[in-house]
Structure 1
Amino acid sequence: MKKLFLLIGTLFFACSPNTEKFDILILNGSIYDAENQSFYEADLGIKGDKIAKIGDLKDAAARQTIDATGHVVSPGFIDVHSHIEAIMRMPDAENFVRQGVTTVLAGPDGRGPSPMQPFLDSLSTYKLGLNTAWLVGHNTIRRNIMGTENRAPTEEELEDMKSAVAEAMQSGAYGLSTGLKYVPGSFSNIEEVIALSKVAAQQGGIYTSHLREEGLGLIEGVQEAIQIGKEAGIPIVLTHHKAIGKPMWGASTKTLAMVDSARNLGIDVMMDQYPYTASSTGLSVLIPTWAMAGGQEEFKKRIDDPATRKKIKEEIMFNIEYDRGGADLAVVQFANVSWKPDLNGKTLKDWAIEKGLEPTFSNGAELVIEGQLNGGASCIFHAIGEEDVKRIMRHPLAMVASDGGLAKPGQGHPHPRSYGTFPRVLGHYVRDEKVISLELALAKMTSLPADRLGLSDRGYIKVGMLADITIFDPETVDEGGTFEDPHHYPVGIPYVIVNGTITVDQGEMTENRAGRVLRKK
Structure 2
Amino acid sequence: MNTIPTIRIAGAALLLASALTAPAFARDAAYDILIKGGTIVDGSGLAAYRGDVAIAGGHIAAVGDLGSAKAAKTIDAAGLVVSPGFINIHSHAEPEGMATAVNMLTQGVTTEIINADGGGGTDIAVQLPEMAANGLAENVGAYTGFNAVWRAAMGDRDVRPTAAQIADMQAAIEKNLKAGAWGVASGLDYRPSYYAKAEEVIEIVSVAKPWRTNFPNHDRLRPEDNLSSFKGMEETVAIAEKAGLVPVITHIKSAGKERGGAAKVLEMVSAATARGTWTAIDIYPYLAGQTALQAFLVPGWAADGGRDAMLARFKDPKLRPQLVEAAEYAMETRLGGAEGIALPDLGKRLTDIMAEDNVRAGEAVLRTLEKDPFTRANMTFGDEKDVVAFLKYPDTAVACDCGAAVKNRGHPRYFGSFPKILGHYVRDTGTITMEDAVRKMSALPAAIIGMVDRGHIAPGMRADVTLFDPKTVRDHATFDAPTLPSDGIRHVIVNGVPALADGAATGAKSGAVLLRDAHMPSRPMNSTAKARSFTASGQSADYTVSVAASQGAGERFAKGTVNLTDAKSGTVWTADSLGIVQTTKGWASVTAVLKDKAGNRKPATLTLDRADGGAETPVISLAFGNAPAAVLPAKGTVKAE
Whether TM-score is above 0.5 comes out as: yes
For the 8 Å contact 2:473–2:488, the answer to whether it is kept is yes
Match status 1:248 vs 2:258: yes
1:175 aligned partner: 183
Q: CA deviation at 1:168?
A: 0.8
1:18–1:251 CA distance, 2 compared to 1 (3 A): closer
Tell me which of 430, 441, 447 is aligned to 1:434. 430
1:115 aligned partner: 123
Any unmatched runs of 5+ in structure 2?
1-10, 13-25, 518-641
Match status 1:218 vs 2:229: yes
Matches within 5 A, 1:277-292: 277-284=287-294, 285-292=296-303
Aligned mates of 2:198, 2:485 — CA distance in 1: 41
Q: CA deviation at 1:24?
A: 0.6
Aligned mates of 1:421, 1:36 — CA distance in 2: 20
Tell me which of 460, 474, 488 is aligned to 2:456. 460
1:14 aligned partner: none
Q: CA deviation at 1:34?
A: 2.6
SS of corresponding position for 2:35? strand
Q: CA deviation at 1:437?
A: 1.1
* 1:244-288 Cα deviation digits (max 9, x unpaired): 11x111122111100000100001211000011111111012111
For the 8 Å contact 1:106–1:135, the answer to whether it is kept is yes
2:216 aligned partner: 208
Match status 1:268 vs 2:278: yes
Tell me which of 228, 238, 262 is aligned to 1:227. 238
Q: CA deviation at 1:33?
A: 2.9
1:33 aligned partner: 42
1:406–1:367 CA distance, 2 compared to 1 (3 A): farther
Tell me which of 474, 477, 481 is aligned to 2:473. 477
Aligned mates of 2:314, 2:354 — CA distance in 1: 20
Match status 1:492 vs 2:488: yes
2:73 aligned partner: 64
- Residue 43 of structure 2 aligns with an amino acid whose one-letter code is A
1:198–1:189 CA distance, 2 compared to 1 (3 A): same
- Residue 351 of structure 1 aligns with an amino acid whose one-letter code is I
1:6 aligned partner: none
For the 8 Å contact 2:53–2:60, the answer to whether it is kept is yes
* 1:493-519 Cα deviation digits (max 9, x unpaired): 110000001000000011111111111
Rg larger in 1 or in 2? 2
For the 8 Å contact 2:293–2:374, the answer to whether it is kept is yes
More helix by share: 1
Give the paired residue count. 489
Matches within 5 A, 1:4-83: 19-83=28-92
State the TM-score, normalized to the length of structure 1: 0.90
Q: Structure 1 stretch 155-164 or stretch 363-372: which is displaced more?
A: 363-372
Match status 1:515 vs 2:511: yes
Aligned mates of 1:89, 1:27 — CA distance in 2: 32
2:442 aligned partner: 446
SS of corresponding position for 1:194? helix
1:333 aligned partner: 342
For the 8 Å contact 2:425–2:431, the answer to whether it is kept is yes
RMSD, matched Cα: 1.9
2:418 aligned partner: 422
Match status 1:318 vs 2:329: yes
- Residue 332 of structure 2 aligns with an amino acid whose one-letter code is E
1:9 aligned partner: none
Aligned mates of 2:76, 2:436 — CA distance in 1: 25
Aligned mates of 1:36, 1:146 — CA distance in 2: 45
For the 8 Å contact 2:128–2:141, the answer to whether it is kept is no
2:533 aligned partner: none
1:184 aligned partner: 192
For the 8 Å contact 1:193–1:228, the answer to whether it is kept is yes
- Residue 35 of structure 1 aligns with an amino acid whose one-letter code is S
Any unmatched runs of 5+ in structure 1?
3-16, 338-342
SS of corresponding position for 2:451? coil
SS of corresponding position for 1:81? coil
Q: CA deviation at 1:405?
A: 3.7
Matches within 5 A, 1:400-415: 400-408=398-406, 411-412=407-408, 414-415=410-411
Tell me which of 390, 397, 409 is aligned to 1:392. 390
SS of corresponding position for 1:162? helix
Which structure has more RCO (C-alpha within 8 Å, separation ≥ 6)? Answer: 1
2:156 aligned partner: 148
Tell me which of 348, 372, 375 is aligned to 2:373. 375
For the 8 Å contact 1:229–1:268, the answer to whether it is kept is no
* 1:451-474 Cα deviation digits (max 9, x unpaired): 112211100011111100000111
1:165 aligned partner: 173
Q: CA deviation at 1:18?
A: 8.4
1:363 aligned partner: 360
Matches within 5 A, 1:80-99: 80-84=89-93, 86-88=94-96, 90-99=98-107
Where do 4+ consecutive residues of structure 1 move more than 4 Å? none
For the 8 Å contact 1:330–1:350, the answer to whether it is kept is no
Aligned mates of 1:146, 1:280 — CA distance in 2: 26
Match status 1:193 vs 2:201: yes
Aligned mates of 1:405, 1:123 — CA distance in 2: 12
